[in-house]
Amino acid sequence: MYDLEYLREFFKDDIFATKMLGAKIEEARDDYAKCSFKIDSNHMNAKGIVMGGAIFTLADFTFAVATNQHEEYYTVSTTANISFMRPGMGNVLYAEAIKLRDGKTMCFYDVNVYNDNNTLIAKVNVCGTHVAK
C-alpha cells in the first residue's frame, strides 16, 4: 500500500482528472479512496448542472486511486455502470470508492458520488482488471 503523498504525486500525471477536472485525492487507504473537485462554470452543461461526464470522470479517477495501491500490478477499469440519482449541484462533488470483491485478476467496486450537502448524486459500479507491472 502506498501513502497519500505518493498517490498524490503519482496521480498528478492523470492530467484530464487532475488538471482539467480539478480532482483532488482527499483520503486513500488499502482498497479505498475519497476524491473531490470544486464545481465551476467549466463543469456545467447547457442546463446549468454538472455535466455527467465530469461526474463519471471523478468516479473513475476515485476508482483508480483506490485500486492502484498495490506494488504487484496496475488495475484498469473494464466496465462501469453509472446511475444518476440527482442533478449535480453544489460547491463540491465527492466520490468514495469502496471495494466489494477483489480476486486474482478482477475486482469490483461501488463508487458513490455526492455533493457538499451529502446528497447522493450518482452510483457507479466498476469492474477492473489487474495487469502485471
User: Domains in the chain, please, with CATH?
Assistant: 4-132 (3.10.129.10)
pLDDT of residue 133: 83
Residue 1 reports pLDDT greater than 70: no
Confidence at 72, pLDDT banded by 50, 70, 90: confident
Whole-number percent of the chain with pLDDT over 90: 90
pTM given for the model? 0.95
> For the purposes of burial, counting CB atoms within 10 Å of the CB of 54, is it exposed (0-12), middle (13-18) or buried (19 or more)?
buried
Average pLDDT, the chain: 95
pLDDT of residue 48: 93
Closest CA to 61 of 9, 111, 121: 111
- CA atoms of 89 and 93, how far apart (whole Å): 8
pLDDT of residue 2: 79
| Amino acid of residue 26 | E
